[in-house]
């Protein structure tokens, strides 16, 4: 009996390694779309592990269903929220204000912090497209290597996207491990700040001093955007904090006896999809309607972003 269990365990490990290797090969070498590669890898693991065909199908269906139902709504709301923040100029507001307050000498730190904040509601690719012109603009202005500013920005965006909900990665991990999302946010922020500092301003300073990478010509010739048309800094900060604060308060109320009286209210408001819905509606009103967008335009902006993420 013991030998059979040992053999099965070894086979499972081999199956997992084969499936992982196949997944990486399909994505990296053959550029297969990620979802297709994951499905092929999952089926391969089942076959190598010796699972019956019917069990493989049911396991894949169940896994996909449980995963999608827990994160699809949050990802959808997050993408729409981020779309409004993007088109209104909210991301530029954060970046420009942070850089102005930190000054040129510490602008790399400002970009790293901005990237960390922006990556929470705005997806990595959109955040990069929005903010990279500012990094190049600073490099042109200070005559430093582009790496000095681009690396901190990329580090902030990558860390924020990987560590802090409502981005898909941490939401998926929290769902799979059945961990409260509020604590994931708190721990993600703490770990993310450290990771951003090391991989961003610190490493960016080292690379920027060692390698002089000039600003691309087509970027250097671009005109700067009009800062007077951007929304207010604290308005953007307040809107971004709405879902984070509500979710965290819900988590704290569960363990603090003094807050037991309002826990049911915070439990409702702090439910992730409720918190994100509130933030999205506030963003629609303050950053959408008040900045000249009508309902039809906002619907198109949010739908297009949602379709891109799906």
Q: Please give the helix or strand (H or E) that residue 225 lies within, else none.
A: none
Query: What tokens does 4 get?
Result: 């059979």
Q: Give just the sign of the alpha carbon dihedral 24, 25, 31, 34.
A: negative
Query: What tokens does 3 get?
Result: 């030998």
Q: What share of the chain is helix, strand, coil (3-state, %, to 5)?
A: 85, 0, 15
Residues whose CB falls within 8 Å of the CB of residue 91, separated by 6 or more in sequence, listed in order: 85, 114, 118, 122, 127, 130, 131
Per-residue pLDDT tens for 60-76? Answer: 888 777 666 667 777 77
pTM over 0.85: no
How far apart are alpha carbons 26 and 34 in whole angstroms? Answer: 8
How far apart are alpha carbons 205 and 176 in whole angstroms? Answer: 37
Per-residue pLDDT tens for 85-112? Answer: 878 888 788 888 888 888 878 999 999 9
Residue indicated by tokens 């997806």: 123
How far apart are alpha carbons 11 and 5 in whole angstroms? Answer: 10
How far apart are alpha carbons 53 and 48 in whole angstroms? Answer: 11
Per-residue pLDDT tens for 6-55? Answer: 347 888 889 989 999 999 999 888 888 777 888 899 899 889 988 888 88
Per-residue pLDDT tens for 114-160? Answer: 999 888 777 787 788 778 878 888 888 888 999 999 999 999 999 99
What are the structural domain ranges in the chain?
2-51, 75-309
């Amino acid at each position: 009996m013991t030998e059979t269990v040992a053999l099965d365990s070894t086979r499972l490990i081999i199956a997992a390694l084969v499936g992982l290797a196949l997944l990486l090969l399909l994505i990296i070498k053959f550029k297969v779309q990620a979802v297709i590669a994951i499905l092929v890898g999952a089926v391969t693991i089942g076959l190598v592990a010796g699972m019956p065909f019917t069990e493989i199908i049911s396991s894949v269906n169940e896994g996909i269903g449980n995963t999608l139902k827990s994160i699809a709504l949050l990802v959808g709301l997050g993408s729409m929220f981020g779309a409004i923040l993007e088109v209104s100029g909210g991301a530029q507001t954060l970046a420009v204000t942070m850089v102005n307050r930190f000054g040129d000498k510490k602008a790399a730190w400002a970009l790293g912090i901005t990237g960390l904040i922006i990556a929470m509601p705005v997806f990595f690719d959109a955040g990069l497209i929005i903010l990279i012109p500012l990094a190049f603009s600073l490099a042109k202005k200070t005559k430093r290597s582009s790496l000095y500013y681009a690396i901190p920005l990329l580090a902030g965006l990558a860390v924020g996207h990987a560590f802090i909900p409502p981005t898909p990665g941490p939401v998926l991990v929290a769902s799979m491990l059945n961990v409260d999302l509020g604590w994931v946010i708190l721990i993600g922020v703490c770990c993310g700040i450290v990771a951003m500092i090391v991989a961003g301003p610190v490493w960016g300073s080292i690379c920027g001093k060692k390698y002089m990478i000039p600003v691309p010509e087509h970027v250097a010739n671009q005109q700067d955007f009009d800062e007077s048309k951007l929304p207010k800094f604290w308005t953007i900060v307040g809107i971004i904090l709405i879902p984070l604060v509500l979710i965290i308060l819900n988590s704290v109320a569960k363990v603090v006896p003094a807050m037991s009286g309002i826990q049911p209210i915070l439990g409702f408001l702090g439910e992730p999809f409720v918190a994100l819905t509130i933030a999205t509606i506030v963003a629609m009103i303050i950053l959408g309607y008040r900045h000249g967008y009508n309902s039809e335009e906002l619907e198109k902006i949010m739908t297009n972003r949602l379709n891109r993420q799906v």
